[in-house]
Amino acid sequence: MRTLFHKTNQTLSAFCGWLMLIMMLLLVVDIVSRTFHQPIYGLAEGSVFVMMITIYLGMARCEENREHVRLELGLDALPSRVRRPFESGVFGIELLTILIFLYAVVLDFLKAYQTGESVLGGTMEFSLWPIKVFTVIGLVFYLVELVFKNVQGMQGPSRTDQEVF
């Protein structure tokens, strides 16, 4: 299962790279069209939605590689046997935070889907539920990766004892 999840994270990460290219193309076309006084409405707003999808779908891969910002200055100074209880406490806080956030995002997605929630971007109306479903998917993958990493860390050496590349 771990290998399947790793491959899925790689695929989502590659997809995020392509989404970044699409986001940049949307912005370039928007700027060029505005330069020639022929704006194409909705491109800037569309690029914001693409950026949101990119952020949430890329979170699990960042956690897999331990590329999130962490404050480890104090933990690095502690011996391994003392460090492990602190890491378990941090994991508990991370897990609780993500579960609360995921619960709120799922409720927000369901509300947007049921009510047909949309926003007006320029002269175009954008439905929000397709964006919010990617937020839910990204957070679920992040949550699973967080649990995988911490269970793996509890079974082996302390997570700050080894570098992850």
pLDDT tens-place string over residues 108-142? 999 999 999 998 877 788 899 999 999 999 999 99
What percentage of the chain has pLDDT greater than the value 90?
55
Stretch 64-70: mean pLDDT: 76
Vertex 110: Cα angle to 106 and 113 (nearest 5): 135
**pLDDT tens track for 38-60:** 999 889 889 999 999 999 999 99
Rounded CA gap, 60 and 66, in Å? 10
Tokens encoding 51:
């950026």
pLDDT at residue 157 tops 70? no
